[in-house]
Amino acid sequence: MPHWDGRAGEQPPPPPMTISVVIPTYNERDNLLSLVPQVLALGPGYRVIVADDNSPDGTGAVANALAETYPGRVRVLHRPGKAGIGPAYVAGFRAALADGADLIVEMDADHSHRPIDLPALVAAAADADLVLGSRYVAGGRVEGWPLPRRLLSRFGGLYARTILGVPVSDLTGGFKVFRRATIEGLDLDRLGADGYGFQIEATYRVLQAGGRVVEVPILFVDRVAGASKLSRFIVLEAMLLVWRLRWERRAR
């Protein structure tokens, strides 16, 4: 850890940056148990906020145990029921702001977002308001998904990008680093969509506000354990959301 001995003419080192990683959970106990230590091992500035939607598999209890193991570095939000990933992220964002985080991270609980990729995203945030871990820029790729899931993801991103007219290759991606000021500039009460829709809207709102968005290539791998939360409702919601956002822009 940097040490300043107070010698004349020298300035003390800046305080370490605080990076709050928000992880929504629903039935992710096995994944969470291994993911949280990997994130915290990245450095002393990393913190984890688990937003659990009352998982029946005991994920909340696992999160509590991790908070006891890493006091001051893991915070658990126990939500009353399964309300979706969007509201869980918003709750996590509010908690991160209250905790004084400098950077706020979105990260899936299922190991599809690799902790070893996070430092590159954090570094890119020095010159961006929002950094996206992208599967679909040069150097990014997906492993473990069957062809139908790959096609759905590709189509969803292209569909949203075309309708909204924004230069982002991975609009549906959920591995993100926001600057504190970027989150503070969003109207969090407006971000009510779930799944793909939430990811699209959050990025779009940043772009609307004139924010600089940068994409960093990542390797996205299929979940290690548990079941996917993707549903037809989430896909339909995202498809309709992009049209609402477009009409909203035209009405201004």
Q: What is the pTM of this model?
A: 0.84
Decide: residue 5, CB within 10 A, 0-12 exposed, 13-18 middle, 19+ buried: exposed
pLDDT at 174: 92
Helix (H, G, I), strand (E, B) or coil at 61: helix
pLDDT at 92: 97
pLDDT at 241: 63
DSSP track, 213-243 = EEEEE-EEE--SSS-----HHHHHHHHHHHH
Over residues 191-218, the pLDDT tens digits come to 877 767 888 899 999 998 999 999 999 9
Q: What does pLDDT average to over the chain?
A: 86
Q: Is the pLDDT of residue 88 over 90?
A: yes
Stronger pLDDT, 59 or 247, i.e. the higher one: 59
pLDDT average, residue stretch 227-240? 57
Over residues 16-25, the pLDDT tens digits come to 799 999 999 9
Stronger pLDDT, 237 or 227, i.e. the higher one: 237
The domain locations on the chain are 19-251
Q: Which ranges of the chain would DSSP assign to H, the alpha helix?
A: 29-40, 59-69, 85-98, 118-124, 147-164, 180-184, 195-208, 232-251
Query: Distance between CA atoms of 123 and 232, rounded to whole angstroms?
Result: 36
- In angstroms, the Cα distances linking 75 to 20, 28, 226 are 10, 16, 22
Q: Is the pLDDT of residue 230 over 60?
A: no
Q: Helices (H), strands (E): how many in the chain?
A: 8, 9
Stronger pLDDT, 202 or 145, i.e. the higher one: 202
Q: Is the pLDDT of residue 8 over 70?
A: no
**Closest to 107 measured CA to CA, from 19, 191, 168:** 19
| CATH class held by domain 19-251 | alpha beta
Over residues 95-141, the pLDDT tens digits come to 999 999 999 999 999 999 999 999 999 999 999 999 999 999 999 99
